[in-house]
Amino acid sequence: MIQNNPKHPPSWIAIARLEEVAGMIQAARQFIKNGCEECPKNQDAWLQACRLASLDDAKAMIARGVKAIPSSVKLWLQASKLEQDDMNKSRVLKKGLENIPDSMRLLKSAVELANEEDVGLLLMRAVECFPLHKIIGSGIRALQREGVVIDREAWMREAEATERAGSVVTCQSTLKHTVGVDVEE
């Protein structure tokens, strides 16, 4: 299959897994390495190569992967997991955020590892990248898609509570996205 269509990543992944199951780890590593060379823009191939490699080889492999696909959140997260200490994990995540500044998953992972000083900077960055009104709006739409009934009065009470707590922007955004719920046109 890989001879007929060498640009088909699932074929490389499948043959590497087949070799792995057969106990031929070196052959599996070689097949997936070739697959990454033939299909450098496929994150699944890079992740599989990383999984099959030794720790040092995995780091080198994932570095090549993020160089080939700098917009892959999964590759940046994997690169971070391969690091031994939190400082290096954080450094990798920050590098990932330079390439994908609007990645909530990378930002969340970076915040979880950050010290008190860096948390403030990361949260300020989050507010810049993810405006609150968009977060609240998408959250309400997601709830509606899941069939959750939006109780306008309950949301109005929550908006009032956030205003009393000093979160005026949160209050305004909540009102903006819920004031029209259950109101006849």
Confidence tier at 115 by pLDDT (50, 70, 90): confident
Confidence tier at 21 by pLDDT (50, 70, 90): very high
More confident residue, 98 or 128: 98
Round to whole Å and give the CA distance between 116 and 158: 29
Mean pLDDT of the chain: 89
Query: Among the three residues 69, 87, 113, which one is the final residue of a domain in this structure?
Result: 69
Domain limits for position 41? 1-69
Cβ atoms of 183 and 151 within 8 Å: the answer is: no
Q: Which residue has the tokens 């609240």?
A: 136
Query: Among the three residues 130, 145, 160, which one is the final residue of a domain in this structure?
Result: 130
- Range from 24-28, 62-66, 110-114 carrying the lowest mean pLDDT: 110-114
Round to whole Å and give the CA distance between 63 and 83: 12
Q: pTM of the prediction?
A: 0.72
44, pLDDT greater than 70: yes
Directed axis angle between helix 25-38 and helix 55-68, to 10°?
A: 10
Cβ atoms of 152 and 145 within 8 Å: the answer is: no
Cβ atoms of 102 and 129 within 8 Å: the answer is: yes
Same domain? 106 vs 162: no
Same domain? 6 vs 65: yes
Same domain? 59 vs 75: no
> For the chain, what is the domain count?
3
Question: What's the pLDDT score for residue 29?
Answer: 97
Same domain? 81 vs 21: no
Question: What's the pLDDT score for residue 185?
Answer: 52
4, pLDDT greater than 90: no
CATH number at residue 27: 1.25.40.10
Same domain? 62 vs 75: no
Question: What's the pLDDT score for residue 184?
Answer: 56
Question: What's the pLDDT score for residue 132?
Answer: 73
Cβ atoms of 102 and 132 within 8 Å: the answer is: no
Residue 13 resides in a domain:
yes
- In this structure, which amino acid lies at residue 135? I
Confidence tier at 171 by pLDDT (50, 70, 90): confident
Round to whole Å and give the CA distance between 20 and 140: 45
Round to whole Å and give the CA distance between 167 and 33: 52
Does residue 41 sit in helix, strand or coil? coil
Query: Among the three residues 54, 69, 84, which one is the final residue of a domain in this structure?
Result: 69
79, pLDDT greater than 60: yes
Angle at the Cα of 149 from the Cα atoms of 147 and 152, rounded to 5 degrees: 150
Residue 38: closest CA among 1, 82, 6: 6
Question: Span 134-155, mean pLDDT?
Answer: 82
